[in-house]
Each structure stands twice: as C-alpha cells, then as structure tokens.
Structure 1
Amino acid sequence: MNWDWHYSGQVIPDLLDGLRVTIIATIFGYLIALVLGLVWALLRRSPSRVLNQAVRWVTEFIRSTPLLVQLFFIFYVLPAWGVTLGALTAGIVGLGVHYSTYTAEVYRAGIDDVPRGQWEASRALNLPRRRVWFAVILPQAVRRIIPTLGNYLIALFKDTPFLLGITVVELLGSAYDAGAHSLKYLEPITVAGLFFIAVSVVSSLALRRLEHRYATN
C-alpha cells in the first residue's frame, strides 16, 4: 500500500467538517455532564433515603450500560414514545447523560474532601444553605477535582465515534464516508486518527495549565 499525498489533501476539508461536529458534540455533551453530574451529586446528599437510593440506582444503571446502547435507545426507541431528537442532539444528550454519572462521583469525592471545619464554620456564621454550597463548599470542591474532570473531557471526546452508530457524521464518520467513496481507507482513517491525537494532546496541555493555575492538592 502506497500513501497518496494528493488524496490525503483532498479528504482533509471533509475531515475538518467532521472534526467540527465532533468538537460541538464534545463541548455540549461535556456541559451537560458537568451540570447534570452536579445535580446527581447534590441529590445523593439528600436527607431523604428514598431519593438518595433512587438517584444511586439510576446513576449506577446508566454507568453500567454501554454508551452505544444508550445512544440507540435515545435515537431509535424514544421516537416510539413521542420523543424525537435529531441525530446530533440525541448524541449530545446521550454523551452528556452517560458521562454525568461519572462526573457525579467526581463531585461527590470533591465535596467529601472539603475539610469538616468549613462546614462547621459556615454553620457557626449562620450562613444560608444556598450560600454555604455555592460560596464555600463547591468552589473548594471543584478546585480539588479539576484534573479528574479534565480527564473525563478527553475521554468523552474519544467516545464521540460512537455517534456514527446513530448516523452522526463526525470525524470518524467523515473518514469512513471518504473511504467508502474512493475505496481507499488508509489515508482518511489515518488522518482522522492524527486529528484525534492532535486535539487530545492540545486539550491535555490546556487542562494541565488550568490545573496548575486553579487546582489544589
């Protein structure tokens, strides 16, 4: 097999379009994971044992189910119940919900790691519960978990090829389509892999700088 540089240059624009879709899915899916994960974590601290256990089992079920199965359920099964989402929207929701169960555990660990004295000081000052959470506890917790949250961002990015299963033409899908039309898969698949590596490396470096600036030991 000989590498065709001319063909490689021809497929790059299509792969860049796929990369754009991949990045969109990653960013919005990750935002859902961050917000919903925090909701799960706070609900797990509810004084209601019923609510606590219900959230625990829901998150365990989602975390224990393959992501591809969840994407198929959202895109192919929910329409039978009257909930129809576009392919990219379904992919973003699926990625976000799936990874929210992991970020929830990260948040929970960060909250548990906040020194007990911070809670006691807040109670001694008679601070409102909302202010205790958003002005005292969560800022300290998040600083402790920045590295782990960053790792899940990269993991989510690398899982975006699963979206091909629900017809989203992301980076890998663009490479596959290019190969299917030309019957030459070496160049598009290899270039797609290089794009994944490049974005992952850049993201890792950016997250490392963020960690050095804001994270605490």
Structure 2
Amino acid sequence: MLFGYHWDTQHGELAFAISILPMLLRGLVVTIEASILGFFVAMVLGLVLAVLKGAKSKLVSWPAAFVTEFIRDTPLLVQLFFLYYVLPEYGIVLPAFMTGALALGIQYSAYTSEVYRAGIGAVDHGQHEASKALDLPPHRTFTHIILPQAVPRVVPALGNYLVSIMKDVPVLSVVTVLEMLNVSKIIGDQTFNYLTPLSMVGGLYLILTIIASAIVRYVDVNLPKRGIPLR
C-alpha cells in the first residue's frame, strides 16, 4: 500500500499491472509536465542565446558562446544538483519539480541555440538586404522576416530534443520528483516485482515518444514556410 493504492500481487501479473496503473499514470502526468516545461525553457533560452551569439559585438557574442559551451559540456546531473542544493544557500528556493524542469531547459538550451543559429543562417541573405531596402528596423526584420522562415527549417531538430528531454526526465528522481521511473522503482522496492512496473514504464514511454514524434511531424508539415505579413 502506497499513496492510497493497493497493489494486487496475489492474482497474477495482469491483476498486479492493473492495480499499479493509476500510480504510473500519475507519474506519466508529471513526466509530461516536466517535459513540456523543460522544452519551453529550452526553446526560449536557446533562442536568446542564438541571438546573442549572432551579435556583431564580441562583448556580447563571446560571453554567450562561453555560456553555451559551459552548459553543454557539464552534466545535467551536476546542473540539477547545483540548482537544487546550492541556490537555497543564496536564498533562492524552488520546488523540486520546478528545479528539475528548469535544469532540463537550461541543459537543452545549449543545443537548441545551435539549432536556431543554423536555421537563421540558412535564411537567404537577400532577405536581410530586402529588409534594409524597405527601411525596416532590425527587430522587425528579425521577428517578421528572418525568424518565421528559420523556425520551420528547424522544427524536426527541435522535435528530436523534445523526445530527448522526455527520456531525461527520470534524472529528476534524484531530487525526489515522482515521475514514472521513480514511481516504478518505489513499487518494485515494496513488492519485490520490478519486471512489471519497469516494463509498463517502457511501454508508456514508447507511446509517449510516438505521439510526440507524430505531433512534431504534423507541425513540420503544416507550419507556414514563409514570413508573416507585415502590417
């Protein structure tokens, strides 16, 4: 008995699987929430880093490049421990779930920044020249001309990182986040049956990644490939 659930281990594996399914589904919800929040942070922060690294001033681009390399070259687990254990010493205390999602977002922002930069660099240089000829301000050129053409090019790569973030969510169990794998481990510890819960987690992850991949393909096909109209 854990969290109000009774696990039936006396009437076969199917009955046991059915009895633990509600808890695993609760863990699945946590996994999805952490993945979505972490991916959102990675997309936003990655875009910021890409823009800063592309700045003409080295005083801006070099620090951004250093931060990107530092994030990419240090393990996710170290960053997670730093956010969870070190920041509270300076008065910054975040819930375990928020800390974990933030760590995922920061880690993957280093990778998404390179994806964004590649997409921005792939936009024809003539688009920049045409914007200058129309006397458009730089920020409007970027938001209305460059970015809407760059993002559709990088959707598949961003989608791959979404799936990768989902697979890294189990790391959050080290800071007590009850995602699917942590829940299955607790069930195994108390019932001495690890095969069934771990197999179910593997199946749920497979379904989750297939759905995520299908959504990414749909977005890739239906996202407009041209810039939005100027007004």
The AA in structure 2 aligned to 1:66 is P
Q: What's 1:105 paired with?
A: 114
Gaps of 5+ in 1: none
What is the match of residue 138 of structure 1?
147
Identity among equivalent pairs (%): 44
The aligned residue for residue 39 of structure 1 is 48
Contact map agreement 1:18 1:171 (CA 8 A) in 2: yes
Partner residue in 1 for 2:91:
82
2:57 maps to 48
Q: Does 1:159 align with 2:175?
A: no
Distance (whole Å) between structure 2 residues aligned to residue 209 and residue 47 of structure 1: 36
Of 66, 80, 85, the residue aligned with 1:57 is 66
Paired residues of 1:33 and 1:96 also in contact (CA < 8 A): yes
How far apart are the structure 1 equivalents of 2:88 and 2:219?
Answer: 41
Select the residue among 16, 19, 40 that pairs with 2:28.
Answer: 19
Which structure has more RCO (C-alpha within 8 Å, separation ≥ 6)? 1
**Deviation of 1:214 (Å):** 2.3
Higher helix share: 1
Larger radius of gyration: 2
Cα deviation for residue 68 of structure 1 reads 1.1
Q: Name 1:176's counterpart in structure 2.
A: 185
Which amino acid in 1 is paired with 2:149? Answer: Q
The size of the alignment, in residue pairs, is: 214
1:96-144 Cα deviation digits (max 9, x unpaired): 1111111100000000000010000000100011110100000000011
Post-superposition, which runs of at least 4 consecutive aligned residues in structure 1 deviate over 3 A? none
User: Partner of 2:210 in structure 1?
Assistant: 201
RMSD: 1.1
- TM normalised by structure 2 equals 0.90
Alpha-carbon distance between aligned partners in 2 of 1:206 and 1:52, rounded to the nearest angstrom = 34
Distance 2:52 2:107 in 1: 17
